[in-house]
Amino acid sequence: MIRSSLLVGALGMFACASSSPPAGPKHVPADSAESKTACPELRATAQTARENLLGEDLGGESGVQLNRAAAKSVFLHAECEAAALRGIAPPSGTHDQILSGLRAIRQQMQDANNLFQEVSRYDQGAFAVRASLGEASLRISYAKTVSSLTPPADLESKGRDAFESELADASRVLRLEASGILELALDTITTTTEASELKPQACELWAAASTSANAHCP
């Protein structure tokens, strides 16, 4: 059934903010040495930063610095993985070809999303806010991809209205998720001095995600 299968392909990545691998062929996360990545050097740097935390006393100033170094390294890796997705064209063709294309994009976006979420384990300041903006940007980008899909070549004409309705629903859900993330990020920006410079970026993303006004954005 095209409706249910396309929803799984389009939204499975963000269901319950799960960090488990998406369904389908064997999935190797971007932070694994086995995976192909557009960002090998940044991935290696992030892994080194993680390893530097092992066995250390993280309660003092040195622990704070190690955590910040990990947050920065993982964030830069996440940003690179997210940037690599921007040049991917929306899938087209038959129903199966579109699903296959969506699954491939979803897997890459899941990797970047998990890396952005990891950042908050190490830092609750500016890098955590940057990571939240990255999560929101991923959803906005995916919503645009979903909205721009053309009906499968093998879809009968009577099913096209349902297909377009489904895409609109999927895009709406993704933008709502982005808006929720951005609301929390904007609240943090207004109370965290080191993150205040991120307000213009957050407001620009808010305008892309929501038609509603936000009290923090002029």
pLDDT at 75: 96
Q: Are 198 and 133 in contact (CB under 8 A)?
A: yes
**What does the pLDDT look like over 23-63, one tens digit per residue?**
444 445 555 555 678 899 999 999 999 998 887 666 677 78
Q: Where are the alpha helices (DSSP H) in 54-159?
A: 61-83, 95-122, 126-147
pLDDT at 17: 43
pLDDT at 21: 39
Residues 115/118/119/124 CA torsion (nearest 10 deg): 150
Q: Give the global pTM.
A: 0.84
pLDDT at 203: 96
Nearest Cα residue to 58 out of 68, 47, 45, 73: 68
pLDDT at 216 exceeding the cut of 90: yes
Between residues 95 and 11, the one the model is more confident about? 95
pLDDT at 61: 75
pLDDT at 90 exceeding the cut of 60: yes
